[in-house]
Amino acid sequence: MRMYAGEPTSVAGPDEPLQAPPQPATAKRPSVVREIIETLLLALIIFVAVRAVVLNFRVDGQSMEPSLDNNEMLLVNRNAYFAFDEDQWLGWIPGVETDPDAEPSYPFGKPERGDIVVLNPPESASADKPYIKRVIGEAGDTVEIRDDQVFINDVQLDESYIDEGRDWECRPAQTCGPLTVPEDSVFVMGDNRGNSEDSRYFGVVPIENIIGKAWITYWPLEQMELVPHEDYPELSG
């Protein structure tokens, strides 16, 4: 047999089977069960993370009309008034000295006049479910209601969100003021003043009772929008 350049030096005999060239190893695909478990775990992590920031809330009743309607669905920012308590967060670390009497700090600010908030009402309220109200008085404000008008530090509020067609009054049994809002508390009222159980009935609300700030209305879809913050320029002078 003649050999030519480039030919292999050995060949299979007539009785030897030809061997296929080795194929590259392929990675094993994860099982379907594993993929499902990983997807569910990822979905759970995302759900928990979102729930830590926002909360679904359904408006129950007419106390915030015309600003918010009955059965309207909202997203509530749970961290809008996050309080950082140094002793609670750092006191357990060995060697770190904290002041147990120090006031908590609010990195994103405290509730402001004009915010719409969801809150756990005080024990004196008639219901134990969360309420939604508007912050009217901040800590240090003197609140007084007279002639169906709200006065802060003896200045009448211009409340454009009030439906002028609805009559309301502050009855003698209610808190009509003058009342000075204590530290770390707020005075809240519903926009539908004639049909709202609020601070006129159960007094001021500690900030720690506030669940979060109303952020977005998302249902009905045609009413989807950011919940506006109300300003009171008449108090800035």
Which residues of the chain form beta strands (DSSP E)? Answer: 54-58, 73-77, 116-119, 131-137, 142-146, 149-152, 155-156, 179-180, 185-189, 205-206, 210-219, 225-226
Any catalytic annotation for residue 31? no
Query: For 225, what's the count of Cα atoms within 13 Å in the CB-facing half-sphere?
Result: 7
Could you confirm whether 105 is annotated as catalytic? no
Return the HEC string of 68-90: CCCCCEEEEECCCCCCECHHHHH
- Cα-trace Rg, the chain: 32
**SS3 state of residue 128:** coil
Exposure on the CB side of residue 71, measured as CA atoms within 13 A: 2
Q: Are 112 and 186 in contact (CB under 8 A)?
A: no
C-alpha span between 130 and 120 (Å, rounded): 5
Catalytic-role residue among 10, 31, 63, 196: 63
Residues annotated catalytic, as ranges: 63, 133
